[in-house]
Structure 1
Amino acid sequence: MNQSEFIENLKRIAEGIAKTFGNNCEVLVADLDNPENAILDIQNGQVTGRKKGDSLSELGLHNIKTERTDTDLFSYSAKTGDGRLIKCTTVHLKWGKGNLALGINYDCTNIQMAVSSLESLIKIDFEINDEFHSNSNEMLDNLLADAFKLVEKPVSLMTKEDRIKIVRFLDERGALLIQKGVQIIAEKLNVSRYTIYNYLNEINNKNKKPTYME
């Protein structure tokens, strides 16, 4: 394979990459030994506004000047003259004494704008722990499970203080507002409804709140 055939293969690769990633993906083959007319082939040149026969970018010229054409550059950022964000990769290639490059430049501007819009949609000013349930029974079951974690004892080993701790937790979270909430909680704690009311009165007396009446 001679150099011309090698370059033709690079052009085919460039076309394949460009067609795979669409109109926002510019792909070019460049002759680094001829920097002023470096571009041998370019796909989707509208991304940077360049065409076949145009020069290298500023970075390309700098790499030639500093003899850095033996190091590939993956996923770096650049900007067009009108400020669009470009994600770039440059692969340096040698054929004999010749120096070539395959460049990929993807216009990420629209993606960046979409990300900014999505971030504004999901932004929250403050966080509150809340859960949604399909019905009140499911909600009560969830609250009961959280309440029992506070004590971590079987009901048969719970003291009065343990039960009051559970009732206080449930009351603070509005569990007793649920229909038949008091009855269900009493059954779970193996006490009567009246005992639950007594617990609530003790809690509220300590907090200097109005007492519960049946």
Structure 2
Amino acid sequence: MADNHDSQFALLKSIADGLAALFFPSVEVVIHNVTTGKVAYIANNLSKRNLGDDAGLDEMEFNEFERLSGPYEKLNWDGKKMRSISIASAGEGKAGYILCVNLSTGIFEDAKNALELFLSVTRLQPQPAELFKDDWQEKINTFLHEWIRKQNTSLASLNREQKKRLVVDLQQEGAFRAKNSADYIASVLSLGRTTVYKYLREIKDNDV
């Protein structure tokens, strides 16, 4: 029995160290000893607990049909939220240890808040009409991505036939009137410049 628990504990320690290393610095893994009701091991201590502290297992009940609890949310000592799961490691008839994986979500919440602030549309101003009235590249981009959206595809997924149809539609939209527009469109569509001009010649020949 003791040997079984020793090998089980050694395995859980390796798992705890591995998880903590893989998700460092945001994950803490705590092993609770069910028999003693104490904290037996901590990998990447984020909660400032100590080995031998009371594990607070009085309210927890695990059976063979409930090996996993969570994820659930709790508050760490620094006021930052953590998402946790508890996994019961079975002994003979009951859990020998409980492995708790605690993910500190503070770094992700900070990143989310920073992105929301950075991408906030309330700080944007309309483009100056006179400055951008001849912005042919933006007009091509707008038409191109609206065309792709209607086709329910993506720029990277366009096949050669779709690219040809897109060149035709861009020509009908007047996209090739601007100087160097053919080079720009060829670059965006990952086509050779000669291929784009070939498509344009075919359009012209068909119109004759």
How far did 1:87 drift? 1.4
Q: Deviations over 1:111-145 (max 9, x none)?
A: 21121111111122399998xx8964556778999
Contiguous gaps of at least 5 residues in structure 2? 145-177, 179-208
How far did 1:80 drift? 1.4
How far did 1:81 drift? 3.0
Could you tell me which residue of structure 1 aligns to residue 109 of structure 2?
Answer: 112
Could you tell me which residue of structure 2 aligns to residue 78 of structure 1?
Answer: 74
Could you tell me which residue of structure 1 aligns to residue 201 of structure 2?
Answer: none
How many angstroms apart in 1 are the aligned matches of 2:116 and 2:139?
34
Bigger radius of gyration among the two: 1
Q: Percent identity?
A: 18
How many angstroms apart in 2 are the aligned matches of 1:135 and 1:39?
68
- RMSD, matched Cα: 3.6
TM normalised by structure 1 equals 0.53
Q: Deviations over 1:48-84 (max 9, x none)?
A: 1112111224xx43214xx668341232211013311
Q: Deviations over 1:13-46 (max 9, x none)?
A: 11111111113311121112322xx21111112x
Q: How does 1:1-214 map to 2 (within 5 A)?
A: 2-35=4-37, 38-45=38-45, 47-57=46-56, 60-64=57-61, 70-99=66-95, 100-125=97-122, 136-137=135-136
SS in 1 for 2:18: helix
What amino acid does structure 2 have at the position aligned with 1:49? K
Contiguous gaps of at least 5 residues in structure 1? 146-177, 179-214
Change in 2 beyond 3 A, CA 1:136/1:68: same
How many angstroms apart in 2 are the aligned matches of 1:7 and 1:144?
62
